[in-house]
């Protein structure tokens, strides 16, 4: 192998380590970079194939008949050039960096699984200082670990404007801050780079990307002289100014090609519409602006043009942009080139630089931006100072306290310090300024903490959402975002507040909404993720349904207010600028979502307001039992919070371990709370909820009251000692909610609720209809999985069963009953109740559970007055909240075909001289009740029973009936130990609608 020896002789005597390092480098160049092994032609084909483009030929012609000696000579010269560049960049002046080894692109993608950084010019102390600064600026983040790897390859154009580093083994995407167009199609050595193997969620299809943190070193072997394209198009000498180009736009000449020089005033994001990708940038001069359309093979320019940079673009033609009021724009052609750092006073200097660069006779860094060509820094962040006069507040005539403001367009530069929600496009800059990117198409590279960014023509909003930073920057299609320095720390942490695939931005694109509404929806999604999805290290990624739920809920709660469909061309090109971000709404009373656990922590102080002047006996008497009611809406009474509250959870029957069995439960992933639910009667009054279809439905409670009861046995000397727990001998309490079903929004209906809504025939535009529509979405958008926490398993639908239709006539209260057999086989008391029901028909066998399907003819028997006493105890007592008098239910016994299980025993009971012979039936724990509303019943089985009269307390005292219904205000509560002098007296009361027996329940010490 003579060429290898020639190569080694070029560097004179070397140590064994250096000699081995030189041999490995020569072998790498021969295998991955030389024309003999495929070289640039092979790499161009590999890159085009990776980008989904047809392989149409090599980047430049290679003489296939070249002799082996000529090929070896090219490899030798290229290897020498690589060693020289490595030696120039190395921090070791007297020896070669033998610890660094060359790595092919395929090896990088397959072997490097951790984010890393490589910088050939660093010493160990420099790297430690660099890492220390990074971790100090971003507490809690770890700096990228250092690796000793060398990357060499060709910079090529990839799919959709990507830059890619390619060698004989493959290609990898490259991100650059502001590259020179002269780097494209050049063989380069990368002395400084970061490698990010995948995005935070691990779903990056490209597996990883490079971030160039320094300029590449251009290699110039003889075989590479033809890689960079020479000047063409309309030429540099005849370049027009922006003012002259504006005249050309007004007077279009078919077939004319022009070159234009000017300063980049704005850069629009890269869009893909109907399979075609393009972007705009505008050249400005004084008050003149010329838009330039870039598409097809020139999309890689998007990383080269920066606001404030002076450029010259050649071979432009005038074209009519359809959809933009017929206005003309300059459009690039196949012969167009872009030259940065261009000034009209230095035309010949630039041409000489280009010629020298292409001939390989310039310095290793032929193109560096001069002071004149560097884009100016954006305006300082004093733009963010609040100016209420410029905000132009306007009162909303519909909602009091709501203001409509106009945003301001500013420039800003800062550092990403927090990723609020990558999927929703929300970030925090400099720990104080929010950033929203949802109104722009998602970029290839996701922002990471530590990225330094530069924003131009960005909208500044002040307090658009009370749950996010007061100062918000929002990018539209007229804004530009450029990363000026890549982060020094690793990837963003796993984002649970919104899926990384951008569900909310896609919904925003389909249904244009105000920015204030979108920001609140994003925060709502993060709150729902906390309250509905169990937290844990092994829990799967956040499902899309949480974002769908937040979007549906915001649609329900917010008044439709949108600017209409977006006109992308007008948004990018119109002067003056107009977009959906021009106006936004400021509402200090926007609802706030709480989890159940957060709600339960919102307990008030021990004493009621005004109790600081009570005596010792009065203090302890007031604390023995206290009750306080707080509302979710501060506008309707004593509020829990300054803003209206929302609760989202699943309605369930009380569990066996529930604190009290006589109420439903609202449960989320954090906790459960008891609920007293009512619904509106036909006459407008309220009655206890009875429909079992609500069980298992995911709902949002829009308005509720939280009732807090406390029971204390204390000996406080005075009010000043209330913070000392040693004076409390026993304490307990309970919290429950009161709400009407009219104030619920169904987010995900249960199976029986779907049937109920279908038979009910929801009115157009109602919440019920929207819920049914949401349930019928595509399977990939189904609201299910972790948010469906039903108490009743859905698998019972396919099991055989027997049923019986009954009508409840009366119901007793929940009380401790001696069932004869308690837990663990021991005698004891269990909570239970009984109900008397009228049998509508016989026991019917089914092959599957009919649930609350419409009643069949065979379920209705002849008219008769046969009744049954249903006895509920233990787990079966959980049905107490939904069994109400005058309501019809289908009682189901699953996994059996034996009708006798639902036939009660006719054991007579004796009470005085009167004999009761109604059969009794012990309800088992696995039996189910399904409400049959009027539309589900057969016509002849439905009879309307007038409700019993509700008496006042004075009427009850004069009444001689044994069973009455009354209502009144509780003014005093006597404890169970009242006979021993431990009675507690209430100084505050609550409304109690009788007709149901209330029981204090069991209390656990806090």
- Which string of DSSP letters, residue by residue, matches 329-342? EEEE-TT--EEES-
Are 457 and 409 in contact by the 8 Å Cβ rule? The answer is yes
Computed over its alpha carbons, how large is the radius of gyration of the chain? 38
pLDDT value of position 236 = 63
Q: Tokens 């509020």 label which residue? A: 639
pLDDT value of position 69 = 62
Q: What does the block give as tokens for 900?
A: 């006798």
CA pair distance 986, 523, nearest whole angstrom: 41
Which of 676, 672, 678 has the alpha carbon at shortest distance from 658? Answer: 672
Q: What does the block give as tokens for 89?
A: 């960049």
Residue 523: strand, helix, or coil: helix
pTM for the full predicted model:
0.82
Q: What does the block give as tokens for 330?
A: 């300059």
Which of 212, 308, 330, 322 has the alpha carbon at shortest distance from 276? Answer: 322
Which of 879, 858, 880 has the alpha carbon at shortest distance from 941? Answer: 858
Are 305 and 290 in contact by the 8 Å Cβ rule? The answer is no
Which of 258, 261, 235, 245 has the alpha carbon at shortest distance from 343? Answer: 261
Q: Tokens 């000579």 label which residue? A: 73
CA pair distance 758, 775, nearest whole angstrom: 12
Residues of the chain scoring pLDDT < 50: 39-67, 200-205, 221-233, 344-398, 762-795, 907-915, 977-1006
Instruction: Spell out the residues 6+ positions from residue 57 whose beta carbon is closer than 8 angstroms to its own.
Output: 41
Which of 232, 254, 186 has the alpha carbon at shortest distance from 336? Answer: 232
Are 656 and 649 in contact by the 8 Å Cβ rule? The answer is no
pLDDT value of position 917 = 58
Are 1003 and 820 in contact by the 8 Å Cβ rule? The answer is no
CA pair distance 709, 735, nearest whole angstrom: 6
């Amino acid at each position: 192998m003579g060429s290898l020896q020639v190569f080694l002789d070029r560097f004179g005597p070397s140590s064994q380590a250096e000699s081995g390092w030189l041999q490995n480098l020569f072998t790498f160049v021969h295998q991955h970079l030389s024309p003999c092994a495929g070289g640039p032609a092979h790499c161009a084909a590999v890159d085009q194939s990776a980008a989904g483009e047809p392989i149409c030929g090599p980047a430049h012609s290679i003489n296939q008949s070249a002799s082996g000696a000529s090929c070896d000579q090219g490899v030798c010269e290229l290897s020498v050039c690589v060693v020289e560049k490595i030696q120039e960049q190395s921090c070791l002046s007297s020896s070669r960096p033998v610890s660094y080894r060359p790595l092919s692109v395929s090896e990088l993608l397959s072997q490097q699984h951790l984010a890393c950084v490589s910088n050939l010019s660093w010493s160990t102390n420099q790297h430690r200082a660099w890492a220390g600064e990074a971790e100090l600026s971003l507490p809690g983040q770890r700096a990228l670990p250092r690796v000793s790897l060398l990357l060499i390859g060709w910079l090529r154009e990839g799919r959709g404007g990507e830059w890619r580093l390619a060698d004989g083994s493959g290609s990898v995407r490259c991100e650059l801050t502001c590259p020179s167009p002269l780097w494209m199609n050049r063989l380069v050595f990368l002395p400084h780079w970061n490698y990010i193997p995948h995005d935070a969620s691990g779903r990056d299809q490209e597996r990883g990307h490079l971030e160039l943190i320094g300029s590449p070193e251009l290699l110039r072997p003889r075989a590479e002289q033809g890689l960079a394209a020479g000047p063409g198009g309309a030429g540099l000498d005849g370049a027009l100014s922006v003012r002259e180009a504006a005249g050309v736009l007004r007077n279009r000449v078919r077939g004319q090609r022009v070159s234009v020089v000017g300063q980049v005033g704005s850069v629009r994001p890269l869009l893909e519409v109907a399979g075609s990708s393009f972007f705009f940038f505008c050249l400005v001069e004084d008050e003149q602006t010329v838009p330039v359309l870039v598409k097809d093979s020139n999309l890689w320019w998007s990383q080269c043009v920066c606001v404030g940079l002076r450029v010259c673009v050649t071979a432009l033609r005038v074209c009519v942009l359809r959809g933009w009021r017929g206005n003309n724009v300059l459009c690039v052609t196949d012969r167009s080139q872009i030259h940065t750092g261009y000034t009209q006073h230095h035309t010949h200097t630039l041409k000489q630089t280009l010629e020298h660069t292409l001939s390989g006779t310039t310095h290793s860094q032929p193109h560096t931006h001069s002071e004149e060509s560097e884009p100016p820094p954006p305006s300082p962040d004093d733009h963010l100072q609040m100016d209420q006069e410029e905000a132009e507040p306007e009162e909303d005539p519909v909602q009091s306290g709501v203001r409509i403001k106009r945003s301001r367009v500013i420039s800003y530069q800062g550092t990403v310090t927090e990723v609020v929600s990558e999927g929703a496009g929300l970030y925090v800059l400099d720990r104080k300024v929010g950033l929203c990117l949802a109104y722009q198409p998602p970029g290839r590279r996701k922002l990471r903490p530590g990225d330094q960014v530069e924003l131009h023509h960005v909208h500044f909003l002040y307090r658009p959402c009370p749950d996010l930073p007061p100062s918000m920057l929002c990018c539209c299609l007229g804004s530009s975002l450029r990363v000026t320095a890549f982060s020094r720390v690793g990837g963003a942490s796993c984002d649970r507040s919104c899926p990384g695939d951008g569900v909310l931005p896609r919904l925003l694109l389909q249904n244009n909404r105000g920015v204030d509404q979108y920001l609140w929806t994003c925060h709502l999604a993060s709150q729902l993720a906390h309250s509905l999805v169990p937290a844990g290290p092994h829990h799967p990624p956040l499902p899309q349904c949480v974002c769908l739920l937040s979007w549906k809920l915001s649609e329900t709660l917010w008044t439709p207010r949108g600017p209409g469909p977006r006109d992308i061309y007008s948004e990018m090109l119109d002067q003056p600028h107009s977009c959906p971000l021009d106006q936004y709404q400021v509402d200090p009373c926007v609802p706030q979502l709480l989890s159940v656990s957060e709600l339960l922590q919102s307990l008030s102080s021990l004493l009621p307001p005004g109790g600081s002047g009570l005596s010792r006996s009065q203090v302890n008497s007031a604390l023995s039992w206290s009750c306080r009611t707080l509302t979710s809406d501060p506008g309707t009474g004593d509020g829990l919070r300054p803003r209206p509250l929302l609760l989202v959870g699943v309605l369930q029957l009380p569990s066996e371990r529930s604190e009290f069995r006589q109420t439903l439960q609202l449960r989320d992933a954090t906790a459960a709370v008891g609920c007293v639910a009512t619904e509106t009667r036909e006459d407008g009054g309220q009655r206890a909820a009875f429909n079992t279809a609500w069980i298992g439905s995911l709902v949002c409670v829009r308005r509720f009251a939280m009732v807090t009861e406390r029971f204390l046995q204390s000996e406080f000397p005075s009010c000043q000692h209330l913070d000392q727990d040693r004076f409390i001998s026993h304490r307990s309490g309970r919290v429950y909610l009161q709400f009407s079903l009219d104030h619920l929004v169904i987010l995900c209906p249960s199976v029986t609720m779907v049937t109920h809504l279908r038979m009910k025939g929801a009115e157009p535009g109602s919440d019920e209809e929207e819920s049914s529509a949401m349930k019928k979405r595509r399977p990939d958008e189904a609201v299910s999985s972790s948010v469906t926490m039903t108490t009743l398993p859905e698998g019972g639908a396919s099991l055989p069963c027997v049923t019986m239709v009954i009508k409840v006539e009366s119901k007793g209260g929940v009380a401790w009953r001696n069932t004869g057999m308690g837990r663990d086989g021991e005698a004891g008391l269990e909570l239970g109740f009984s109900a008397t029901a009228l049998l509508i028909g016989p026991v019917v066998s089914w092959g599957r559970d009919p649930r609350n399907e419409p009643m069949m003819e065979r379920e209705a028997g002849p008219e008769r007055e046969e009744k049954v006493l249903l006895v509920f105890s233990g787990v079966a007592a959980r049905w107490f909240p939904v069994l109400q008098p005058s309501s019809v239910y289908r009682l189901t016994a699953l996994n059996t075909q034996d009708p006798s299980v639902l036939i009660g025993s006719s054991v007579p009971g004796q009470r005085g001289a009167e004999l009761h012979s109604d059969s009794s039936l012990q309800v088992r724990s696995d039996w189910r009740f399904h409400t049959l509303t009027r539309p589900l019943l057969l016509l002849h089985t439905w009879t309307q029973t007038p409700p019993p009269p509700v008496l006042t307390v004075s009427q009850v005292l004069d009444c001689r009936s044994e069973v009455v219904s009354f209502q009144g205000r509780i003014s005093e509560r006597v404890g169970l130990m009242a006979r021993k002098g431990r009675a507690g007296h209430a100084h505050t009361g609550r409304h109690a609608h009788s007709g149901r027996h209330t029981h204090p329940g069991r209390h656990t010490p806090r």
